Amino acid sequence: MSIVIGLTGSIGMGKSTVAAMIRRLGIPVFDADAEVRRMQGPGGELLAAIESLHPDTTGPYGLDRAKLARAVFGDRAALDRLERLVHPAVERARRRFLRRHRARRIVVLDVPLLFEKGGWRRVDRIIVVSAAAWQQRRRVLARPDMSPDKLARIRALQTPDAEKRRRADFVLSTGGTHMRTAADLRRILACAGARRGR
């Protein structure tokens, strides 16, 4: 049975970079966000159901995210309906991933909302990727179509970094060099792989 590690971190903390490092070490990584994008892409399994909920938000190129965002913005009930559609599909994909890699010693679930959506209950160990607040802000505001207001709204939906760090088994800092982060990651994975249970 694999040791299942949950990888999470708030926006701009470097989680995607860390996930790529883990893949380069030969460890299977399930990317929940990538799975959602696949399901909502051209021919994706969720398109018909999304279209029935929100007409004219999908097409031959998949989901029009801007249209869907406008359709659900400020509508908690609509967002809840969408989540009830997406989350079970992601859960089925997660289970397929775990079955496919059940012979591996370690597998990693890359889940941005690990704490927010209860995913922490389904992993053996948790790695939280973190950096200083000023580094997070600088990274995020360098992205296209990002603003301080948008960042504030996103952060309000996420468990605070301090709380994530408190609940983590391991905290991986991305505030230093790429080489330092990679070395710290290897040490954490070696430690996590040697321990079972919560």
All structural domains of the chain with their residue ranges: 1-28+111-198, 30-100
**62-63 and 58-59 beta bridge pairing:** antiparallel
* 125/112 Cα distance (integer angstroms): 15
Q: H or E stretch including 53?
A: helix 47-53
**How much is the pTM?**
0.88
Q: Which CATH superfamily does the domain covering 1-28+111-198 fall into?
A: P-loop containing nucleotide triphosphate hydrolases (3.40.50.300)
* 138/26 Cα distance (integer angstroms): 31
**Which of the four pLDDT bands, split at 50, 70 and 90, describes residue 5?**
very high
Task: Return the exposure string of 63-77: e unless at least 16 CB atoms fall within 10 Å of the residue's CB, then b.
Answer: bbeeebeebbeeeee
Q: Is 183 helix (H, G, I), strand (E, B) or coil?
A: helix
R_g of the chain computed on alpha carbons: 18
Residue range 144-156: mean pLDDT, rounded: 91
Residue range 127-145: mean pLDDT, rounded: 95
